[in-house]
Amino acid sequence: MFHKEGQKIIVTTFFLVVALILVAQFYVSPEWLRFVVQIVALVLLILVLQFFRNPKRPVTPNFDEILAPVDGKVVVIEEVEEPEYFKEKRKQVSIFMSPVNVHVTRYAASGTVTYSKYHPGKYLVAWHPKSSTENERTTVVLHTPKFGEIGYRQIAGALARRIVNYAEEGEQVTQGQDAGFIKFGSRVDLLLPLDCDISVKLNQKVVGAKTCIASLRQKDD
């Protein structure tokens, strides 16, 4: 299954690859060069198809857990001062997506969208410390039943030049539901309350809508 955001690119790439293979078959020589051109064209098509794949991941909503919004690797776990919406300290968990990861953004929790804003910006590499505040990005905040308000940012990288965000203020959303897409390498920051327990470690690989990122801190009796 492929994401709807890739439909035009997939169709265009398919016809270009078919045309390239046919041109190579009839007009390129010697034979070894023809073979190389055709293989490169097929590899290009495979790369585009794998980038826009959208695997189904059924989720039973769990109000006690924050799930990974994307596939990738945890590159930041720290307390930060969040100046845009919360204007207070938050626990930030950042997940870096390489071009080979699934790039679908999924809602990390069920709740109501209370804030959704797009920011134009730079295209620093996604792991750059200033990418969270200076790169092209969207900021979304959800009000959840148990965690209160949580936020996430879709951040463009050096190659990512388009962020797709489906979150609309006032909308009711469900954990694991499709929240958007980022094209060609990027990062997502989760902004969580200080009183939650982080369940992942630095450099851990996570799977969107499957890996638990944080849970409610158990209160002492």
Helix (H) or strand (E) holding 139: strand 137-144
pLDDT of 121 higher than 80: no
Give CA–CA dist 129/95, Å, rounded.
Answer: 13
Give CA–CA dist 50/46, Å, rounded.
Answer: 6
40 and 47 in contact (C-beta within 8 Å)? no
The 3-state secondary structure of 43-80, one letter per residue: HHHHHHHHHCECCCCCCCCCCCEEECCCCEEEEEEEEE
Catalytic residues: 186
Per-residue pLDDT reduced to its tens digit, 6-44: 789 889 999 999 999 999 999 998 999 999 999 999 999
| DSSP tag of 217 | P
Give CA–CA dist 111/67, Å, rounded.
Answer: 13
Per-residue pLDDT reduced to its tens digit, 148-188: 999 999 988 655 557 899 999 999 999 999 999 987 668 89
Count how many residues are written for the chain: 221
Q: Is 20 left (phi over 0), alpha (psi -120 to 50) or beta?
A: alpha
